[in-house]
Structure 1
Amino acid sequence: MQVTARADYALRAVIELACSEQEVLTRDALASQQHIPAKFLESILGELSRSGLLTSRRGSGGGYSLTRPATEITLADVLRSVDGPLAGVRGESPEQVTYPESTKRLRDVWVATRASLRLVLETTSVADVALGELPVPVQELLTLPGAWERR
C-alpha cells in the first residue's frame, strides 16, 4: 500500500485536532504543528469538511474542529475522504476485476488485501492513535516477524 502525502497529511491534521486542548484550530496552527505546507493542507481540510469529518468556522476564533468524537472516526474514514476506496486495481474495486483462467485467483488476493487493510484501518480510531492505544489486533501485527523490515 502506498500512502499518499495527501492521506498522510489528512491523518496528521485530524489526529492533531483530536490531541488539541483547544476545540478549534486554524489551518496555520495545524500546518505549523505538523510541518505540513499550509496551502496544500487547505485543500485537504476542505475535503475533510465536505466529507463531514470536520466543520469550519470563519472569522476571529475560527478554524477547524472534528464533527464527532475522535473515538467515532476511523483511519479508514479519513483515508477514504481524501483518496477514495482503500484498495483498487487499475481504478476498479477488487471484486469487479476479471482475469483469464490462469490468473483468476489473483482477484481473491486483491480482495484479501483489501480485507487486511480494513482490519487495521477500520478498527483503529483517530482517538486510538492520539492516545497511543492501538487495538490489540493491530498491536499483534506489529510483532509479526519482519513487520518492521523493509522489503
Structure 2
Amino acid sequence: MQISAKADYAVRALVELAADSARPLTCEGIASAQDIPFRFLKSVFRDLRQAGLVRSQRGCEGGYWIGRDPAAISVAEVMTAVDGEFLTLRGARPDSLVYPGAARRLPDLWRAVEAAAQSVLGRTTIAELAAEGAAGTEGAEDGASQRTGPGSSVRDVSPAVPA
C-alpha cells in the first residue's frame, strides 16, 4: 500500500495546526516546520479548505486555522479529502472487483486490506497525533516517534499468517 505525499503532507499540516491552535499559522511556517515543499503545500491547503478541514484569513495577521475540532478529524478523512477514494486498485474500488478462475478470491483480500487500513486510520485523530507529538519523542531515534509500542493509539492489524 502506498500513501501519497499529498496525504502525508496534509496530515502533517493539520497536526501542526492542531498543536498550535492559539494563532493562525502561515503556509510558509508550516512548510518550514514540517520540511514540506511550500508550493506543494499550498495546493494541499486548497483541498483541505474545500473539505472544511482548515479555514484561512488573508492579511498580515492571516494564516490557517484548523477548521474543526481536531478530535473529530480522522486521518482517513484527511486522506480522502486530498486523494479522493480511500483505496483503489488500478482506478477501481475493491468492492467492484471480480476476478475469474483461480484468482476469484483475490478481491476479498483487497477488501480486507481496505477495511483494516480504514479501521486504523479512521480511529486515529489529528488531536491524538498532535498530543503525542507535543509529549515528545523520548527514546526515539532521529526524532521519529515510535507509535507501535504499548499504549500506542496505532494498533497492529496485520493479518495472522499461519506457520
Length-normalised TM-score, structure 2: 0.81
For the pair 1:4 / 2:19, whether they are aligned, the reply is no
| Partner SS, residue 132 of structure 1 | helix
| Cα deviation, residue 101, structure 1 | 2.6
| Cα deviation, residue 93, structure 1 | 0.7
The answer as to whether partners of 1:56 and 1:65 remain within 8 angstroms in 2 is: yes
Query: Which runs of 5 or more residues in structure 2 are unaligned?
Result: 134-146
Change (3 A) 1:16 1:120: same
Query: Which runs of 5 or more residues in structure 1 are unaligned?
Result: 146-151
Residue identity over aligned pairs, in percent, reads 38
Match of 2:74 in 1: 74
What residue identity is the alignment partner of 1:22? A
Match of 2:143 in 1: none
Match of 1:111 in 2: 111
Report the number of matched residues.
144
> Could you tell me how far apart the structure 1 residues matched to 2:19 and 2:96 are?
39
Match of 1:43 in 2: 43
What residue identity is the alignment partner of 1:44? V
> Could you tell me how far apart the structure 2 residues matched to 1:143 and 1:42 are?
35
| Partner SS, residue 123 of structure 2 | coil
| Matched ranges for 1:1-150 at <5 A | 1-132=1-132, 138-141=153-156
The answer as to whether partners of 1:19 and 1:130 remain within 8 angstroms in 2 is: yes
**1:21-78 CA-partner distances (Å, limit 9, x unpaired):** 5331111111111111111110100110011111111112111111111100000111
The Cα RMSD (Å) is: 2.3
Change (3 A) 1:99 1:138: farther
Moved beyond 6 Å, runs of 4+: 142-145
> Could you tell me how far apart the structure 2 residues matched to 1:144 and 1:87 are?
18
The answer as to whether partners of 1:25 and 1:64 remain within 8 angstroms in 2 is: yes
Match of 1:149 in 2: none
